[in-house]
Amino acid sequence: MWTQSGDFYELLQRYQAQTGVRVPLLTPVDAPIDAPSAALEVHGTTVIALKFKGGVLNVGDRRATAANAVMYDRADKIIPLDDYTLVAIAGAYGRAMEVVRYLRHSFKYYARSQLQPMSLDGKLQEVSRALSANLPNALGGIGLFLPILSVYDPDQGRGRIFFYDVSGARFETPEYGAAGSGSERIRGVFDYITKTKGAFSERPLEEVLREAILLLDIAADLDAATGGVDKVLPTARYVTHEGVFEVPESDIRAIVQSIRTGGNA
């Protein structure tokens, strides 16, 4: 007898087998190995995840590029997967959005059908699985992206940050995470901040938000593909024991203005 295990991947496979309708996520794109992918594909650039006292903050610029063309300046790269999980995406935008849609459905499908939420480890594993399924594409030069997962862990009563490599390997980071072209340029700054001002996880949200926007501003100065904070305001979302919240635009605008008009610009 077939039993319902709440596995969304299995549901899609059954759907594909029954209907013959091709689900893009299940079948790798046949890309020539030497495809000029960088010129075709839209990429999201810089996202930053920082812990604060009580949760995790995610900030991302809004730029998406294809080679050296700016394709879009209102991309949203910080996306809630459920009430306690945020994902920040850098890299191939199209593929990333498809995987995000998959994960949102996968978590909810499990919770609704099994009448219990998917465990944190189960969710992290599901991200690994989606990434390893995407590996043939990534190796073929199309669809390479890197997610950072920020969660509130109710068992441990604290925020946690996880990042992945292309093959789906999962790593936990103690204080901060960043991905995308701009993040490489500012890597040392995170360390400098924690060593001079203390751990992000011990500081209040307002302070950490200001640091994050400043970091994004520096990344935009050093990396042409990063959109920065002036033309279009960055997105900021955070997760606490109460759920996922968006930082209001007015708060972000106030911080950007104070950085521009004095303080520590």
- Identify which of residues 8 and 176 has a Cβ nearer to other proteins in the complex: 8
How far is the CA of 260 from the CAs of 87, 185, 197, 213, in angstroms?
A: 29, 21, 22, 12
Closest-CA residue to 149 (of 193, 99, 210, 200):
99
- Identify which of residues 68 and 116 has a Cβ nearer to other proteins in the complex: 116
Check if the beta carbon of residue 68 is closer than 8 Å to that of residue 226.
no
Residues with a catalytic annotation lie at 45
**And the tokens for 17?**
């087998």
Which secondary-structure segment (H or E) carries 79?
Answer: strand 78-82
| Phi and psi, residue 213, nearest 5° | -70, -40
User: In the bound complex, what is the minimum distance in angstroms from residue 205's beta carbon to other proteins?
Assistant: 16
Among the residues of 25-160, which ranges form H helices? 37-40, 93-114, 120-133, 135-140
- Identify which of residues 74 and 112 has a Cβ nearer to other proteins in the complex: 112
Check if the beta carbon of residue 62 is closer than 8 Å to that of residue 199.
no
| DSSP characters over 213-246 | HHHHHHHHHH-TT---SSSSPPEEEEEETTEEEE
- Identify which of residues 64 and 244 has a Cβ nearer to other proteins in the complex: 244
User: In the bound complex, what is the minimum distance in angstroms from residue 105's beta carbon to other proteins?
Assistant: 5
Rule CB under 8 A: which residues touch other proteins?
4, 8, 11-12, 15, 21, 23, 80, 82-83, 101-102, 105, 108-109, 112-113, 115, 243-245
User: In the bound complex, what is the minimum distance in angstroms from residue 239's beta carbon to other proteins?
Assistant: 11
- Identify which of residues 108 and 185 has a Cβ nearer to other proteins in the complex: 108
User: In the bound complex, what is the minimum distance in angstroms from residue 247's beta carbon to other proteins?
Assistant: 13
Check if the beta carbon of residue 56 is closer than 8 Å to that of residue 152.
yes
Instruction: Fill in the amino acid letter for 182.
Output: G
User: In the bound complex, what is the minimum distance in angstroms from residue 104's beta carbon to other proteins?
Assistant: 9
